[in-house]
Amino acid sequence: MARCWPQGRAMAAELPSRDEERLLLVAPTRRDAEVSAQLLAEVGVRCVVCRDLRALTAALGAGVGAVLLTDSALADPAIEAFVDTLARQPAWSDVPVLVMTRAREVPALPEPVLQRLTNLTLLDRPASLRAMTSAVQSALRARRRQYQLRDQIGEQMKAEQALRDSERRKDEFLATLAHELRNPLAPIRMGVDALARIPGDSAQALRLREMMARQVGQLVKLIDELLDLSRIATGKVVLRRVSVDLRTVIASALEACQPALEAARHEVRVELPPQPVWVHGDPSRLAQVVSNLVNNAAKYTPAGGHVRIELAQVQREATLRVVDDGMGIPAEMVGRVFDMFTQVDRTLDRAQGGLGIGLALVRSLMELHGGSVRADSDGLDRGSVFTLTLPAIAAEAAADCGPGAPEAAERRRLRVLVVDDNVDAADALAIQLAGNGHTPHTVYRGVDALSAVDTFAPHVVFCDIGMPGMDGHELASRLRADPRHAGKVLVALTGWGSDEDKRRTQRSGFDHHLVKPASWQAVEELLATL
């Protein structure tokens, strides 16, 4: 495409600029041209008088609304270059050319030239002022429609490019996902094989179990992130908001990040104000946001680095900053790290795992809280600063909102019946329940649960759905049909988590629905509300 036709600004323009509206004209004499220009200026047409056809052709590239010529210009040898330039217009463009000609001279116009001018209007000369201005104005209107088309094409091209980028990121993400899921699986499989050959109480077995627990934790974290990702993408994240002191959020986030910070031997400094910083938020989601940032600081800072967490409140705004002196973020990536599936360096040896969705989750969760997050970095190896801002609430308002985080609620000892045909899953949950002061009882078949409900009299029943024989739906319906069990809380604990699955468990009589693998925190929060 000819370089003289402007392309770049075309993509962003909504309204044509003044240069693109101008009428370029050449007349046999300068005087004629100036008179025409003046008359047209009076009806709002901006004219540029060109010395000759060659000068007009050169001016086309800087923008043109229409061209006004007389038949003498058509006889100019420069007409070939003019027509050639028009032939190289982009596909959306067809510059209107108006030629004033004496009626008797029309046959004298060079036929090949006429044929190649695809948007030509012939005006009889002498033309009335009305005829000339109306022809010029309608040419300019037609030209404006071409600009609209150009802008639409530009928008479409931008959308297509964005689609291609997101496709590419999704492909890269799938490759990363496969890699990241396989990473923890390999040591777990080796551990399982090794455990079968060594005494279960040996020091080696203990180390293996610790290693496997770590790797399973990593798998669960990846899968949780994926589930969050789809919940956020479909707008299904529901915040359980209470008034919460951000200092407690930081404390619980730091607890979760301790292993990563310690493993990298980072020096951690936490600067908290002496008084609470109250916000109206979901404590576990806020802790997830902060631990995402702190984990990243730990991950992207070479061992022995420094990580600082600062909290401050200025009037009605709470600010939480996570500062590290690690590998930093190149300037061109600082704004993009919050995009889904974006990782600065995909070739990085990410021994600690990562899918490039943590920061996208952080941004979405902050937006759901009415807050924001931003990243700053002076560049590679110059550290990073992630700043969260949230609307703070006054202490009195915090008190009005009732008790803070669920952990503040009074704990009750509960009798909990666990029903799951996956023996390991049932036993693991029972061990956690017992360790937290509750009294668990496990059964591995739906039918056994019916009698256990009578003898054990649980407050709560955690029940798997897909079980051979009597499944969770049937069990719940039968319990609900018996008025003696009306007060029992039934919790579905299942791998299925779609809206339809949740509606079904509700129809069967369940009060709550937790998706496996449910974190202990989720179970505990639920028990705390009972």
From 49, 261, 355, 493, residue interacting with ligand ADP (rule: CB under 6 A): 355
Task: Pick between residue 261 and residue 357 the one whose CB is nearest to ligand ADP.
Answer: 357
Please answer whether residues 164 and 18 qualify as being in contact, where contact means their C-beta atoms are separated by less than 8 angstroms. Answer: no
Residue 399 has φ and ψ, to the nearest 5°, of -65, -40
Nearest Cα residue to 236 out of 517, 495, 499, 491: 499
Can you say how many angstroms the Cα of residue 431 is from the centroid of all Cα atoms in its chain? 38
The residue count for binding ligand ADP (CB under 6 A) is: 21
From 49, 74, 286, 337, residue interacting with ligand ADP (rule: CB under 6 A): 337
Smallest gap from residue 273 Cβ to ligand ADP (A): 23
Q: What is the spatial distance between Cα 440 and Cα 429, in angstroms, rounded to a whole number?
A: 9
Helix axes 129-197, 30-42, angle to 10 degrees: 70
Q: What is the spatial distance between Cα 82 and Cα 100, in angstroms, rounded to a whole number?
A: 17
DSSP 103: G
Structure tokens at 273: 């104000």
Q: Is residue 343 a contact point for ligand ADP (CB under 6 A)?
A: yes
Task: Pick between residue 95 and residue 329 the one whose CB is nearest to ligand ADP.
Answer: 329
Position closest to ligand ADP via CB: 354
- Convert residues 285-304 into a mask of x (bound to ligand ADP by CB under 6 A) and - (unbound): -----------xx--x----
Instruction: Sheet with 120-125: list strands edge to edge.
Output: 47-49, 23-25, 66-70, 97-102, 120-125
Smallest gap from residue 145 Cβ to ligand ADP (A): 44
Q: Is residue 354 a contact point for ligand ADP (CB under 6 A)?
A: yes
Rg, C-alpha atoms of the chain: 36
Smallest gap from residue 285 Cβ to ligand ADP (A): 16
Hey, how many other C-beta atoms are within 10 angstroms of the C-beta on 31? 9
Q: What is the spatial distance between Cα 80 and Cα 56, in angstroms, rounded to a whole number?
A: 13
Q: From 57-65, 151-159, 337-345, 409-417, give the range in contact with ligand ADP by CB under 6 A.
A: 337-345
Q: Is residue 329 a contact point for ligand ADP (CB under 6 A)?
A: yes
What are the helix (H) ranges across 43-105?
Answer: 53-59, 71-74, 79-87
Smallest gap from residue 265 Cβ to ligand ADP (A): 17
Smallest gap from residue 327 Cβ to ligand ADP (A): 5
Task: Pick between residue 132 and residue 340 the one whose CB is nearest to ligand ADP.
Answer: 340
Burial of 322 (0-12, 13-18, 19+ CB in 10 A): buried
Q: Which 380-439 positions form the footprint of ligand ADP (CB under 6 A)?
A: 384
Q: Is residue 358 a contact point for ligand ADP (CB under 6 A)?
A: yes
Q: Is residue 327 a contact point for ligand ADP (CB under 6 A)?
A: yes
Please answer whether residues 328 and 287 qualify as being in contact, where contact means their C-beta atoms are separated by less than 8 angstroms. Answer: no
Smallest gap from residue 309 Cβ to ligand ADP (A): 12
Q: From 156-164, 343-351, 481-489, 504-512, give the range in contact with ligand ADP by CB under 6 A.
A: 343-351
Q: Is residue 173 a contact point for ligand ADP (CB under 6 A)?
A: no
Binding site for ligand ADP (CB under 6 A): 296-297, 300, 324, 326-329, 337, 342-345, 354-360, 384
